[in-house]
Amino acid sequence: MPKIFNKQIDREMDYPYETSPPKRQVAYIFDTNKCIACQTCTIACKTCWTSGRGQEHIFYNNVETKPYGSYPMGWDTKLQEQRVQVTWNNKRLESPTIFEGNSPNSPPDGWRPTSEDYAHPNHGEDDISGIIEKTAHFAGEHPMWMFYLARICNHCTTPACLAACPRKAIYKREEDGIVLVDQERCRGYQECVRACPYKKVFYNAVSRASEKCIGCFPRVEQGLQALCVEGCIGKIRMHGFISTQTPPREDNPLDYIIHIRKLALPLYPQFGTGPNVYYVPPIHVPIGFCEQLFGPGVEESVSLYRKLKDDPKLLGALFLFGSTDHIIEHFEVKDQVAIGWNAKGDEVSRVPFTEYTYVRPHHDKEFQVYRHNTA
């Protein structure tokens, strides 16, 4: 089996195909600390892409509450239960990925969800990690925690769905790394559904073919961010490209946050698929739990996040989240203002560190009305 170098696990790994990185790779950053699970992203996506019959159970985007929430049911725990214990040696993964250690004629290790597994997309919602003892709230802080995990297809660098499809009906686009299921070619074997460790490929019982998040490619082709990103009212998301064939650029907000500053981390890098949705891990959750999800860089990331107020460039990059529906190709932070430009060089975003305040007179002479400023 060919060997591929996987940067996220800092070693070579087995993958069924020889691959080289696409010209550029679509990527996302989700700041878990800002998500309130309002599901606006979920609905933006659902309304646009999965409103047809046969798609009732399909959420290309979902937001689940960790530690207990999951959609489909137990998508991560079920796979972990059938895998060996994950071990890291510093940033290098020692244990096998889902492509390794299987019998020679086996596709990537996975499991098959049933329709019942999709039936409770919000189970565990808002549940905290344990019971709070009576009167504990009088003491101020208590040790219980939860956080919201927004999930879409990771448009992986080495996708398991693509590796598993015996018909080669799944492909990764050279121009942007978006992973798609060829809707003309798929014959509904559900091998991709079984193999995707994130369970973000779905079987449509009406079309009798598999479907997945299309990375809003018709928008990306127009230089626009995905609907789940544009719709996010908490401004937790950024969508753009990371450099693949050249070193990361300081002026590319995604390169800067992910690769240069290492603030955002991949979800379950130990699976080995090279996911391209990167998460700013929650800062109030036990490190052990976070490391299980986001790998060995959590402590570093949390420490960086806690010092953001003294880190203007990184803070400015985060301020660009949700500030425009355009993909930001270049950014700069200058004089307490973050500015973003699109691929054509047009300024598409300008965010001051401190929002402008306007104090209006109590009496508006023009309209002869009185206004009460509440700020």
Partner 1 sequence: MTYKNTLSSKRMLPLHGLAGAVFLVIAAAFVWRMPSNSKATDTTKDIVAVSPLHVTKIATLGAPDPTASYWKSATVAVVPLLPQTITKPTIEKSEIHSMEVQAVSDGTNIAWRLAWADPEADSAVDSGKFSDACAIQFPIGTNTNLMMGHGGEVEIFLWKAIWQRDVNLGFQDIRDLHPNAWTDLYWFSKGGLETNIKDAFADPRAKQWMIALTAGNPMSQMDRKQPCEECTAKGFGTIATQAQQSSQAVGVWAGGQWAVVFQRPLRTEDVTDYQFGLHASEFALAVWQGSAKQAGGRKQFSGWVPFELLNGNIK
Host H or E run for residue 239: strand 237-243
Bridge partners (DSSP) listed for residue 350: 339
The residue among 143 and 166 lying less far from partner 1, judged by its C-beta, is 166
CB of 213 to partner 1, least distance (A): 13
Instruction: Identify the residue among 82, 89, 183, 222 touching partner 1 (CB under 8 A).
Output: 183
Is 50 a residue that touches partner 1 (CB under 8 A)? yes
Measured CA to CA, the distance from residue 321 to residue 344 in angstroms comes to: 19
Q: How far apart are CA 34 and CA 173, in angstroms?
A: 31
- Residues 59, 198, 202, 294: which binds partner 1 (CB under 8 A)? 202
Query: What amino acid occupies position 342?
Result: N
**Per CB under 8 A, 166 contacts partner 1:** yes
Q: Can you name the residues that pair with 179 across neighbouring β-strands?
A: 172
DSSP summary character for residue 300: H
C-alpha 300/C-alpha 283 separation (Å) is 11
Where does residue 284 rank: exposed (0-12), middle (13-18), buried (19+ CB within 10 A)?
exposed
Part of the chain binding partner 1 (CB under 8 A), chosen from 23-31, 85-93, 159-167, 300-308? 159-167
Dihedral sign (CA 210, 151, 118, 159): positive
- In the bound complex, what is the minimum distance in angstroms from residue 53's beta carbon to partner 1? 6
| 186 interacts with partner 1 by CB under 8 A | yes
How far apart are CB 196 and partner 1 at their closest, in Å? 13
- Sequence-ordered list of residues with C-beta below 8 angstroms from that of 7, at least 6 positions apart, any chain: 274
| Residue 2 engages partner 1 in binding (rule: CB under 8 A) | no
- Of 31, 109, 211, 255, the one binding partner 1 (CB under 8 A) is 211
Report how far residue 213's alpha carbon sits from residue 246's, in angstroms, rounded to the nearest whole number. 27
Q: Which of 214, 211, 243 is nearest to 227 (CA)?
A: 214
Residue 182 Cβ vs partner 1, minimum distance, rounded to whole Å: 8
Q: What phi and psi values does residue 350 have, to the nearest 5 degrees?
A: -145, 110
| Min CB(189)–partner 1 separation in Å | 4
Q: Which is nearer to partner 1, 117 or 176 (CB)?
A: 117
In contact, 268 and 67? CB cutoff 8 Å: no
Please provide the size of the chain in residues: 375
CB of 54 to partner 1, least distance (A): 7
Q: Tell me the C-alpha distance between 340 and 322, whole Å.
A: 12
- 42 belongs to the binding site for partner 1 (CB under 8 A): no
Asked if 206 interacts with partner 1 (CB under 8 A), we say: yes
Contact predicate 225/232, CB 8 Å: no
Binding status of residue 198 toward partner 1 by CB under 8 A: no
Rule CB under 8 A: choose which of 38, 43, 128, 205 binds partner 1. Answer: 205
- C-beta closer to partner 1: residue 137 or 185: 185
164 binds partner 1 (CB under 8 A): yes
Q: Is 113 in the site for partner 1 (CB under 8 A)?
A: yes
Name the minimum Å distance from CB 149 to partner 1: 22
Nearest to partner 1 of 52, 352 (CB atom): 52
Q: Is 109 one of the binding residues for partner 1 (CB under 8 A)?
A: no
Residues of the shown chain interacting with partner 1 in the complex, contacts defined by CB under 8 A: 49-57, 105-107, 112-115, 117-118, 164, 166-168, 183-191, 193, 202-209, 211
